[in-house]
DNA sequence: CCGATACTTCAGAAATTTCTGAAAAGTCGG
DNA sequence: CCGACTTTTCAGAAATTTCTGAAGTATCGG
Protein backbone atom coordinates (compact mmCIF):
# COMPACT_ATOMS: atom_id res chain seq x y z
CA UNK A 1 0.00 0.00 0.00
CA UNK A 2 1.00 3.59 -0.58
CA UNK A 3 3.55 2.36 -3.08
CA UNK A 4 4.64 4.11 -6.23
CA UNK A 5 2.36 2.06 -8.39
CA UNK A 6 -0.73 3.06 -6.49
CA UNK A 7 0.31 6.69 -6.65
CA UNK A 8 0.83 6.41 -10.37
CA UNK A 9 -2.68 5.07 -10.82
CA UNK A 10 -4.11 7.90 -8.73
CA UNK A 11 -2.15 10.37 -10.84
CA UNK A 12 -3.53 9.01 -14.10
CA UNK A 13 -7.05 9.10 -12.73
CA UNK A 14 -6.57 12.68 -11.63
CA UNK A 15 -5.34 13.52 -15.12
CA UNK A 16 -8.58 12.18 -16.56
CA UNK A 17 -10.52 14.45 -14.24
CA UNK A 18 -8.44 17.42 -15.30
CA UNK A 19 -9.29 16.60 -18.90
CA UNK A 20 -12.96 16.66 -17.92
CA UNK A 21 -12.24 20.09 -16.54
CA UNK A 22 -11.12 21.31 -19.91
CA UNK A 23 -7.36 20.77 -20.01
CA UNK A 24 -5.77 19.06 -22.97
CA UNK A 25 -4.68 15.50 -22.55
CA UNK A 26 -0.95 15.97 -22.27
CA UNK A 27 -1.27 19.14 -20.19
CA UNK A 28 -3.42 17.23 -17.75
CA UNK A 29 -1.01 14.32 -17.49
CA UNK A 30 1.89 16.70 -17.04
CA UNK A 31 0.09 18.58 -14.29
CA UNK A 32 -0.53 15.26 -12.56
CA UNK A 33 3.21 14.61 -12.56
CA UNK A 34 3.80 17.99 -10.91
CA UNK A 35 1.29 17.04 -8.24
CA UNK A 36 2.53 13.57 -7.50
CA UNK A 37 6.29 13.90 -7.77
CA UNK A 38 8.45 13.35 -4.71
CA UNK A 39 10.76 16.15 -5.72
CA UNK A 40 10.46 19.87 -5.21
CA UNK A 41 10.81 20.47 -8.92
CA UNK A 42 10.97 18.45 -12.12
CA UNK A 43 12.53 18.78 -15.56
CA UNK A 44 10.98 18.25 -18.96
CA UNK A 45 13.03 15.12 -19.45
CA UNK A 46 11.81 13.60 -16.20
CA UNK A 47 8.22 14.24 -17.20
CA UNK A 48 8.75 12.65 -20.60
CA UNK A 49 10.26 9.56 -18.96
CA UNK A 50 7.47 9.31 -16.45
CA UNK A 51 4.70 9.67 -19.02
CA UNK A 52 6.51 7.73 -21.75
CA UNK A 53 5.76 10.60 -24.07
CA UNK A 54 7.87 12.42 -26.63
CA UNK A 55 9.94 15.43 -25.66
CA UNK A 56 7.94 17.42 -28.16
CA UNK A 57 4.57 16.87 -26.61
CA UNK A 58 5.93 17.51 -23.12
CA UNK A 59 7.41 20.75 -24.33
CA UNK A 60 4.03 21.82 -25.64
CA UNK A 61 2.29 20.87 -22.41
CA UNK A 62 4.78 22.80 -20.27
CA UNK A 63 4.41 25.84 -22.45
CA UNK A 64 0.66 25.80 -22.08
CA UNK A 65 0.80 25.25 -18.30
CA UNK A 66 3.21 28.15 -17.99
CA UNK A 67 0.92 30.36 -20.05
CA UNK A 68 -2.09 29.81 -17.83
CA UNK A 69 0.08 30.20 -14.74
CA UNK A 70 -0.27 26.75 -13.22
CA UNK A 71 3.47 26.07 -13.03
CA UNK A 72 6.56 28.27 -12.84
CA UNK A 73 10.10 28.00 -14.09
CA UNK A 74 12.57 27.96 -11.22
CA UNK A 75 15.74 30.05 -11.11
CA UNK A 76 18.13 27.59 -12.68
CA UNK A 77 20.36 26.00 -10.06
CA UNK A 78 23.43 25.96 -12.27
CA UNK A 79 22.08 23.03 -14.21
CA UNK A 80 21.63 22.81 -17.89
CA UNK A 81 18.07 21.61 -17.47
CA UNK A 82 15.13 23.85 -16.78
CA UNK A 83 13.32 23.11 -13.54
CA UNK A 84 9.60 23.67 -13.04
CA UNK A 85 7.18 23.30 -10.16
CA UNK A 86 3.52 23.70 -9.39
CA UNK A 87 2.63 27.23 -8.31
CA UNK A 88 1.13 27.79 -4.89
CA UNK A 89 -2.04 29.39 -6.19
CA UNK A 90 -2.41 26.97 -9.07
CA UNK A 91 -5.96 25.90 -8.29
CA UNK A 92 -7.36 29.35 -7.82
CA UNK A 93 -5.61 30.29 -11.04
CA UNK A 94 -7.14 27.37 -12.91
CA UNK A 95 -10.57 28.31 -11.60
CA UNK A 96 -10.11 31.93 -12.60
CA UNK A 97 -8.94 31.04 -16.08
CA UNK A 98 -12.05 29.00 -16.60
CA UNK A 99 -14.06 32.05 -15.69
CA UNK A 100 -12.97 33.91 -18.77
CA UNK A 101 -15.62 31.75 -20.38
CA UNK A 102 -18.19 33.46 -18.17
CA UNK A 103 -17.12 36.83 -19.45
CA UNK A 104 -17.39 35.56 -23.02
CA UNK A 105 -20.91 34.31 -22.30
CA UNK A 106 -21.84 37.69 -20.94
CA UNK A 107 -20.59 39.43 -24.04
CA UNK A 108 -22.27 36.96 -26.37
CA UNK A 109 -25.58 37.56 -24.59
CA UNK A 110 -25.12 41.32 -24.82
CA UNK A 111 -24.45 41.04 -28.55
CA UNK A 112 -27.63 39.05 -28.97
CA UNK A 113 -29.62 41.60 -27.01
CA UNK A 114 -28.31 44.34 -29.25
CA UNK A 115 -29.35 42.38 -32.32
CA UNK A 116 -32.95 41.78 -31.24
CA UNK A 117 -35.94 44.05 -30.67
CA UNK A 118 -37.22 44.72 -27.18
CA UNK A 119 -40.20 42.50 -26.53
CA UNK A 120 -38.97 39.77 -28.82
CA UNK A 121 -39.01 36.38 -27.07
CA UNK A 122 -35.35 36.04 -28.00
CA UNK A 123 -34.65 39.41 -26.43
CA UNK A 124 -36.17 38.25 -23.17
CA UNK A 125 -34.25 34.98 -23.13
CA UNK A 126 -30.97 36.72 -23.82
CA UNK A 127 -31.67 39.24 -21.08
CA UNK A 128 -32.12 36.40 -18.62
CA UNK A 129 -28.90 34.85 -19.80
CA UNK A 130 -27.00 38.09 -19.40
CA UNK A 131 -28.42 38.63 -15.93
CA UNK A 132 -27.14 35.26 -14.77
CA UNK A 133 -23.63 35.67 -16.08
CA UNK A 134 -23.43 39.25 -14.84
CA UNK A 135 -24.41 37.98 -11.41
CA UNK A 136 -21.76 35.26 -11.52
CA UNK A 137 -19.04 37.60 -12.64
CA UNK A 138 -19.92 39.95 -9.83
CA UNK A 139 -19.77 37.24 -7.20
CA UNK A 140 -16.49 35.65 -8.16
CA UNK A 141 -14.03 38.25 -6.86
CA UNK A 142 -15.58 38.07 -3.39
CA UNK A 143 -15.50 34.28 -3.58
CA UNK A 144 -11.78 34.23 -4.30
CA UNK A 145 -11.20 36.81 -1.58
CA UNK A 146 -12.84 34.56 0.95
CA UNK A 147 -10.62 31.74 -0.21
CA UNK A 148 -7.43 33.72 0.11
CA UNK A 149 -8.37 34.94 3.57
CA UNK A 150 -9.36 31.52 4.85
CA UNK A 151 -6.23 30.07 3.32
CA UNK A 152 -3.76 32.50 4.92
CA UNK B 1 -29.96 46.60 -38.44
CA UNK B 2 -31.62 44.16 -36.07
CA UNK B 3 -32.47 41.98 -39.05
CA UNK B 4 -32.54 38.21 -39.14
CA UNK B 5 -29.10 37.98 -40.66
CA UNK B 6 -27.48 39.91 -37.83
CA UNK B 7 -29.27 37.77 -35.29
CA UNK B 8 -28.08 34.65 -37.04
CA UNK B 9 -24.50 35.83 -36.83
CA UNK B 10 -24.88 36.61 -33.14
CA UNK B 11 -26.34 33.14 -32.61
CA UNK B 12 -23.41 31.44 -34.32
CA UNK B 13 -20.94 33.46 -32.27
CA UNK B 14 -22.78 32.55 -29.10
CA UNK B 15 -22.60 28.90 -30.11
CA UNK B 16 -18.82 29.18 -30.38
CA UNK B 17 -18.72 30.56 -26.84
CA UNK B 18 -20.85 27.70 -25.60
CA UNK B 19 -18.38 25.29 -27.17
CA UNK B 20 -15.61 27.05 -25.24
CA UNK B 21 -17.71 26.40 -22.19
CA UNK B 22 -17.59 22.69 -22.81
CA UNK B 23 -20.69 21.87 -24.86
CA UNK B 24 -20.34 19.80 -27.98
CA UNK B 25 -20.55 21.56 -31.30
CA UNK B 26 -24.03 20.56 -32.35
CA UNK B 27 -25.46 20.89 -28.86
CA UNK B 28 -24.12 24.42 -28.71
CA UNK B 29 -25.56 25.40 -32.08
CA UNK B 30 -28.89 23.87 -31.15
CA UNK B 31 -28.97 25.75 -27.87
CA UNK B 32 -28.30 28.95 -29.79
CA UNK B 33 -31.38 28.28 -31.91
CA UNK B 34 -33.47 27.90 -28.76
CA UNK B 35 -32.18 31.25 -27.57
CA UNK B 36 -32.64 33.20 -30.75
CA UNK B 37 -35.88 31.83 -32.15
CA UNK B 38 -38.91 34.09 -32.46
CA UNK B 39 -41.22 31.30 -31.43
CA UNK B 40 -42.15 30.03 -28.02
CA UNK B 41 -41.04 26.54 -28.93
CA UNK B 42 -39.30 24.79 -31.80
CA UNK B 43 -39.30 21.33 -33.36
CA UNK B 44 -36.37 19.14 -34.33
CA UNK B 45 -37.14 19.68 -37.99
CA UNK B 46 -37.04 23.45 -37.63
CA UNK B 47 -33.66 23.24 -35.93
CA UNK B 48 -32.28 21.00 -38.67
CA UNK B 49 -33.46 23.46 -41.33
CA UNK B 50 -32.03 26.41 -39.51
CA UNK B 51 -28.64 24.82 -38.93
CA UNK B 52 -28.55 22.96 -42.24
CA UNK B 53 -27.68 19.84 -40.30
CA UNK B 54 -28.92 16.28 -40.55
CA UNK B 55 -31.92 15.10 -38.58
CA UNK B 56 -29.65 12.58 -36.91
CA UNK B 57 -27.23 15.04 -35.43
CA UNK B 58 -30.06 17.29 -34.26
CA UNK B 59 -31.69 14.33 -32.58
CA UNK B 60 -28.48 13.63 -30.71
CA UNK B 61 -28.08 17.25 -29.66
CA UNK B 62 -31.64 17.48 -28.37
CA UNK B 63 -31.21 14.29 -26.40
CA UNK B 64 -28.10 15.62 -24.73
CA UNK B 65 -29.65 19.02 -23.96
CA UNK B 66 -32.65 17.26 -22.43
CA UNK B 67 -30.37 15.08 -20.31
CA UNK B 68 -28.55 18.01 -18.74
CA UNK B 69 -31.85 19.84 -18.27
CA UNK B 70 -31.26 22.85 -20.49
CA UNK B 71 -34.41 22.34 -22.56
CA UNK B 72 -37.75 20.65 -21.96
CA UNK B 73 -40.22 18.77 -24.10
CA UNK B 74 -43.57 20.54 -24.18
CA UNK B 75 -46.90 18.77 -23.72
CA UNK B 76 -47.66 17.93 -27.34
CA UNK B 77 -50.34 20.26 -28.71
CA UNK B 78 -51.96 17.52 -30.78
CA UNK B 79 -49.24 17.80 -33.37
CA UNK B 80 -47.17 15.00 -34.72
CA UNK B 81 -43.98 16.91 -34.02
CA UNK B 82 -42.34 17.19 -30.64
CA UNK B 83 -41.95 20.74 -29.39
CA UNK B 84 -39.09 21.87 -27.17
CA UNK B 85 -38.10 25.09 -25.45
CA UNK B 86 -35.36 26.52 -23.31
CA UNK B 87 -35.97 25.97 -19.62
CA UNK B 88 -36.26 28.96 -17.34
CA UNK B 89 -33.38 27.96 -15.12
CA UNK B 90 -31.20 26.81 -17.99
CA UNK B 91 -28.16 28.91 -17.12
CA UNK B 92 -28.06 28.02 -13.48
CA UNK B 93 -28.45 24.41 -14.54
CA UNK B 94 -25.58 24.64 -16.99
CA UNK B 95 -23.39 26.19 -14.30
CA UNK B 96 -24.32 23.50 -11.82
CA UNK B 97 -23.64 20.69 -14.24
CA UNK B 98 -20.18 22.05 -14.84
CA UNK B 99 -19.63 21.88 -11.11
CA UNK B 100 -19.78 18.13 -11.07
CA UNK B 101 -16.23 18.50 -12.33
CA UNK B 102 -15.37 20.22 -9.05
CA UNK B 103 -16.65 17.26 -7.12
CA UNK B 104 -14.59 14.94 -9.29
CA UNK B 105 -11.50 17.06 -8.62
CA UNK B 106 -12.15 16.83 -4.91
CA UNK B 107 -12.40 13.08 -5.05
CA UNK B 108 -9.31 12.75 -7.22
CA UNK B 109 -7.35 14.83 -4.71
CA UNK B 110 -8.63 12.70 -1.84
CA UNK B 111 -7.58 9.54 -3.64
CA UNK B 112 -4.12 10.97 -4.11
CA UNK B 113 -3.89 11.92 -0.44
CA UNK B 114 -4.80 8.39 0.52
CA UNK B 115 -2.09 7.01 -1.75
CA UNK B 116 0.75 9.14 -0.35
CA UNK B 117 2.51 9.31 3.01
CA UNK B 118 1.98 12.25 5.32
CA UNK B 119 4.87 14.66 4.95
CA UNK B 120 5.48 13.71 1.34
CA UNK B 121 5.67 16.81 -0.89
CA UNK B 122 2.97 15.23 -3.03
CA UNK B 123 0.80 14.76 0.05
CA UNK B 124 1.06 18.45 0.83
CA UNK B 125 0.23 19.54 -2.71
CA UNK B 126 -2.77 17.26 -2.87
CA UNK B 127 -3.99 18.54 0.48
CA UNK B 128 -3.89 22.09 -0.85
CA UNK B 129 -5.76 20.99 -3.92
CA UNK B 130 -8.43 19.29 -1.87
CA UNK B 131 -8.80 22.32 0.36
CA UNK B 132 -9.52 24.57 -2.59
CA UNK B 133 -12.12 22.36 -4.18
CA UNK B 134 -13.74 21.64 -0.84
CA UNK B 135 -14.00 25.38 -0.32
CA UNK B 136 -15.54 25.88 -3.75
CA UNK B 137 -18.04 23.11 -3.31
CA UNK B 138 -19.08 24.58 0.00
CA UNK B 139 -19.62 28.05 -1.44
CA UNK B 140 -21.63 27.14 -4.49
CA UNK B 141 -24.98 26.34 -2.90
CA UNK B 142 -25.06 29.72 -1.19
CA UNK B 143 -24.08 31.38 -4.45
CA UNK B 144 -26.96 29.80 -6.31
CA UNK B 145 -29.30 30.70 -3.45
CA UNK B 146 -28.36 34.34 -3.76
CA UNK B 147 -29.06 34.12 -7.49
CA UNK B 148 -32.48 32.60 -7.04
CA UNK B 149 -33.45 35.16 -4.42
CA UNK B 150 -32.23 38.11 -6.42
CA UNK B 151 -33.93 36.70 -9.49
CA UNK B 152 -37.36 36.22 -7.94
C1' DC C 1 -55.26 -1.05 -39.23
C1' DC C 2 -52.77 1.57 -42.96
C1' DG C 3 -50.23 5.23 -44.93
C1' DA C 4 -47.64 9.19 -44.05
C1' DT C 5 -44.71 11.81 -41.35
C1' DA C 6 -41.44 12.41 -37.68
C1' DC C 7 -37.88 10.67 -34.70
C1' DT C 8 -33.96 7.59 -33.33
C1' DT C 9 -30.11 4.72 -34.01
C1' DC C 10 -25.82 3.41 -35.81
C1' DA C 11 -22.08 2.25 -39.07
C1' DG C 12 -19.02 4.56 -41.72
C1' DA C 13 -17.08 9.11 -43.53
C1' DA C 14 -15.21 13.44 -42.59
C1' DA C 15 -13.04 16.67 -39.88
C1' DT C 16 -10.54 17.93 -36.07
C1' DT C 17 -7.44 17.33 -32.40
C1' DT C 18 -3.36 15.49 -30.51
C1' DC C 19 1.01 13.15 -30.61
C1' DT C 20 5.39 11.85 -32.46
C1' DG C 21 9.94 12.10 -34.53
C1' DA C 22 13.41 14.55 -36.58
C1' DA C 23 15.59 18.71 -37.47
C1' DA C 24 16.71 23.29 -35.84
C1' DA C 25 17.77 26.34 -32.22
C1' DG C 26 19.36 27.52 -27.81
C1' DT C 27 22.54 27.15 -23.65
C1' DC C 28 26.13 25.98 -20.64
C1' DG C 29 30.77 24.35 -19.19
C1' DG C 30 35.16 24.30 -20.53
C1' DC D 1 34.10 29.71 -29.52
C1' DC D 2 33.36 24.50 -29.44
C1' DG D 3 31.02 20.40 -28.30
C1' DA D 4 27.61 18.11 -25.67
C1' DC D 5 23.20 18.20 -24.09
C1' DT D 6 18.45 20.08 -23.73
C1' DT D 7 14.48 22.27 -25.48
C1' DT D 8 11.49 23.98 -29.19
C1' DT D 9 9.27 23.76 -33.53
C1' DC D 10 6.63 21.74 -37.07
C1' DA D 11 5.09 18.57 -40.76
C1' DG D 12 2.92 14.44 -41.03
C1' DA D 13 0.78 10.28 -38.65
C1' DA D 14 -2.40 8.52 -35.51
C1' DA D 15 -6.28 8.71 -32.77
C1' DT D 16 -10.38 10.68 -31.48
C1' DT D 17 -14.45 13.22 -32.04
C1' DT D 18 -18.33 14.56 -34.64
C1' DC D 19 -21.49 14.42 -38.47
C1' DT D 20 -24.14 12.33 -42.02
C1' DG D 21 -27.24 9.24 -44.44
C1' DA D 22 -29.98 5.45 -44.53
C1' DA D 23 -32.51 1.99 -42.28
C1' DG D 24 -35.46 1.02 -38.58
C1' DT D 25 -39.02 2.38 -35.07
C1' DA D 26 -42.83 5.01 -33.39
C1' DT D 27 -46.96 7.78 -33.63
C1' DC D 28 -50.88 10.08 -35.50
C1' DG D 29 -54.80 10.98 -38.61
C1' DG D 30 -57.96 8.87 -41.28
Q: How confident is the model over A102-146, as pLDDT tens digits?
A: 999 999 999 999 999 999 999 999 999 999 999 999 999 999 999
Interface test with A, best of B8, B13, B36, B148 (most A CBs within 10 A): B36
Using the predicted structure, report yes or no on whether residue B65 has a pLDDT greater than 70: yes
Average pLDDT rounded to a whole number, residues B13-37 = 95
Q: Comparing A79-83, B36-40, B67-71, B90-94, which segment has the lowest mean pLDDT?
A: A79-83
CB of A55 nearer than 7 A to strand D: yes
Using the predicted structure, report yes or no on whether residue B125 has a pLDDT greater than 90: yes
Select the more confidently predicted residue: B5 or B69. B69
Q: How confident is the model at residue A49 (pLDDT cuts 50, 70, 90)?
A: very high
- Mean pLDDT (chain A) is 93
| Residue A130 vs residues A50, B77, B114: alpha-carbon distances, Å | 45, 31, 42
Helix (H) or strand (E) holding A105: helix A100-115
CA/C1' separation A49–C22 (Å)? 19
Average pLDDT rounded to a whole number, residues B69-95 = 88
Select the more confidently predicted residue: A136 or B97. A136
CATH code of the domain occupying A4-88: 1.10.10.10
d(CA A138, CA B9): 28
What percent of chain A is predicted at pLDDT more than 90? Answer: 83
Measured in Å, how far apart are chain A's first and last C-alpha atoms?
33
Position A4 scores a pLDDT of: 79
Position A150 scores a pLDDT of: 92
| Residue B37 vs residues A127, A129, B23, B57: alpha-carbon distances, Å | 14, 15, 20, 19
Position B110 scores a pLDDT of: 97
- Nearest chain A residue to B1 by CA: give it: A115
Closest CA–CA distance from residue B78 to any residue of chain A (Å): 23
d(CA B30, CA B60): 10
d(CA B13, CA B3): 16
Using the predicted structure, report yes or no on whether residue A79 has a pLDDT greater than 80: no
CA/C1' separation A20–D23 (Å)? 35
Using the predicted structure, report yes or no on whether residue B79 has a pLDDT greater than 80: no
Position A115 scores a pLDDT of: 95
d(CA A26, CA A47): 11
Where do the structural domains in chain B lie, given as residue ranges?
A: 4-88, 99-150
d(CA A27, CA A66): 10
Amino acid sequence: MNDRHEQWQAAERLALTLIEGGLQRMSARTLAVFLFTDQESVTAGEIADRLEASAGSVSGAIKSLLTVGLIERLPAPGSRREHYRLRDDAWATLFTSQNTVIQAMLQAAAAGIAATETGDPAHQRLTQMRAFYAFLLGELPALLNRWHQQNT
